[in-house]
Amino acid sequence: MASAQIKFGTDGWRAVIAREFTFANVERVAQAYADYLSSESSGLVIIGYDRRFLSENFAQRAAEIIQGNGLRVALFNEALPTPLISWAVKNQSAIGGIVITASHNPPEFNGFKIKAPWGGSASPETTTQVERLVDASKPKRAAIADDPAAKGLLQQSVESYRAQVSAYIDLDRIKQSRLSVVVDPIHGCGARWVESFLTRDTLTVETIRADRDPLFGGVNPEPIDQNLGALKSRVLEKEAALGLATDGDADRLGAVNERGETMTMHEVVPLILLHLARERKMAGGVVRTFSQSVLTKRIAEAHGLKVYETPIGFKYIADLMLRADILLGAEESGGIGVKGHIPERDGILNSLLLLEAVAAAGKTPSQMVSEMHREFGEFYFDRRDLHIEIDRGKNLVAQLAEKPPAKFLDHEVSGIETLDGTKLLFNDESWLLFRQSGTEPMLRIYCEATSKIKMKSLLDEGSRCALLPK
């Protein structure tokens, strides 16, 4: 039987458990990573994992391979948020890290993320080199000995992460707000981490779906509207001011307003940016990925902040955060990085930061969005995910780039951009983006428009065009 091809996507290698994601293949990837680190003869590698099926066992196997190559290993003994593991890598000056997680993917998947010494996702250059080293040498495996020193390093990192978040967030302001909050980790390793920073004396906080469930309650652990029914219902039942959600490994954020409506990242990110720029008086560049909001750009420009645009994938944001003074970098899927923290998405810290923004405003989230629209313009966003063969989707994206339509429905196409997929631009700054995944049969169509009706009609027409018989 031929060995499965190991291909790193936007953030790690992911595959279906027991099909491609097997112990043998984890050994192959871990050995390739060890070979990549071979010049670091005695460096420390920190390894963590999420709550998926067998994640702790896959992490143990990866640790055995790293140890077998003569490197020091510190293996967490419980499922923890990926940003905490990233923080530990930086905090302990490790040469790298591994997280066994498939993030927001469906329950049948697991994955292998590589963390760089600075506390963020490995660069594309690193993962490409690791891919090339797969099967370059036979896996070397050694038993993991009990290491009190390693356990001490990890405990210190957990305490340091807690201190970092506590210092970054204005917890006193949140606690004095007397808000009611519901938190939903969707059975992922966000668990009760957000709640743990909030005392109950003046604040009402409840966490739902906090226990481990490798099937995630029958939904994908992605904090988007279709998966947040339980949170929306509980927010309405509790008459809460805000609902907060994290994905399977707690590096992404989702939110629900006081009306029980899911907030898009094209609302959440601009609100957080406004809070940082106006309330906190912070400065720096703003990075938005190719599918992020016009509002983020307008708010940044209104406050004299330089705007950068990158392809989709947080690794591109992290790269800029390492090279430039960046206040905030954000992607449409809920990943946000902020100045003064690690160059990494952090669903725990950003949940608390959004809560801080609501507390500071003294208004409901829907009121905050309405005021933002009045000042910077109304824009509404949604996304459609269509199951389409990879080659067919790529052909559609290429055709739109080569021969863009003069009009789409009744709207004149004023230009196109091809940074990551093909984006049709309209005169009022509305846009429609077609982007085919290179690793799965999924065509994603994104749209932001000046009205909900226009947004929906553009998405409908985009979906119809994509599904036309070829």
Asked if residue 58 and residue 125 are part of one domain, the reply reads yes
Burial of 425 (0-12, 13-18, 19+ CB in 10 A): middle
Domain holding 357: CATH number?
Answer: 3.40.120.10
Reading the chain (470 residues) residue by residue, the pLDDT tens digits are: 457 789 887 788 999 999 999 999 999 999 999 999 987 667 899 999 999 999 999 999 999 999 999 999 999 999 999 999 999 999 999 999 999 999 999 999 999 999 999 999 898 889 999 999 999 999 999 988 777 888 899 999 999 999 999 999 999 999 889 899 999 999 999 999 999 999 777 789 999 999 999 999 999 999 999 999 999 999 999 999 999 999 999 999 999 999 999 999 999 999 999 999 999 999 999 999 999 999 999 999 999 999 999 998 888 899 899 999 999 999 988 999 999 999 999 999 999 999 999 999 999 999 999 999 999 999 999 999 999 998 999 999 999 999 999 999 999 999 999 999 999 999 999 999 999 986 678 999 999 999 999 999 999 999 999 988 76
Contact present, 10 and 313 (Cβ < 8 Å): yes
Asked if residue 409 and residue 311 are part of one domain, the reply reads no
391: domain range? 380-467
pLDDT, position 146? 75
Asked if residue 106 and residue 184 are part of one domain, the reply reads no
Asked if residue 354 and residue 282 are part of one domain, the reply reads yes
Placement of tokens 């003074």 in the chain = 325
Torsion of CA 224, 225, 226, 232, to 10 degrees: 120
Domain holding 458: CATH number?
Answer: 3.30.310.50
Asked if residue 358 and residue 214 are part of one domain, the reply reads yes
CB atoms within 10 A of CB 323: 9
**Residue 144 domain flag:** yes
Asked if residue 454 and residue 404 are part of one domain, the reply reads yes
pLDDT, position 2? 52
- Which of 376, 395, 418 lies at the terminal end of a domain, its last residue? 376
Asked if residue 192 and residue 131 are part of one domain, the reply reads no
Q: How many helices (H) and strands (E) does the chain have?
A: 15, 20
pLDDT, position 131? 95
| Interatomic CA distance for residues 254 and 9, integer angstroms | 22
| Interatomic CA distance for residues 264 and 244, integer angstroms | 12
Number of domains in the chain: 3
Contact present, 180 and 204 (Cβ < 8 Å): yes
**Residue 114 domain flag:** yes
**Residue 8 domain flag:** no
- Which of 376, 394, 411 lies at the terminal end of a domain, its last residue? 376
Asked if residue 189 and residue 66 are part of one domain, the reply reads no
**Beta pairing class for 285-289 and 326-330:** parallel
**Residue 183 domain flag:** yes
pLDDT, position 226? 94
Contact present, 219 and 228 (Cβ < 8 Å): no
Asked if residue 293 and residue 340 are part of one domain, the reply reads yes
**Residue 1 domain flag:** no
pLDDT, position 439? 61
Per DSSP, the residues of 120-171 read: SBPPHHHHHHHHHHTTSS-----PPPP-HHHHHHHHHHHHHHHHHHHHHS-H
**Residue 7 domain flag:** no
Residue 418 contacts by C-beta under 8 Å, 6 or more apart in sequence? 401
Contact present, 207 and 183 (Cβ < 8 Å): yes
**Residue 5 domain flag:** no
pLDDT, position 40? 66
How far separated are the first and last CA of the chain, in Å rounded?
Answer: 35
CA 190 from chain centre, in angstroms, equals 13
For the chain, how many residues are written? Answer: 470
| Interatomic CA distance for residues 115 and 99, integer angstroms | 8
What pTM did the predictor assign? 0.94
Q: What are phi and psi of 338, to 5 degrees?
A: -130, 155
- Which of 348, 376, 404 lies at the terminal end of a domain, its last residue? 376
Placement of tokens 């169509």 in the chain = 445
pLDDT, position 41? 63
pLDDT, position 85? 98
Asked if residue 199 and residue 84 are part of one domain, the reply reads no
Asked if residue 331 and residue 194 are part of one domain, the reply reads yes
| Interatomic CA distance for residues 278 and 453, integer angstroms | 32
Asked if residue 388 and residue 370 are part of one domain, the reply reads no
**Residue 455 domain flag:** yes
Burial of 22 (0-12, 13-18, 19+ CB in 10 A): middle
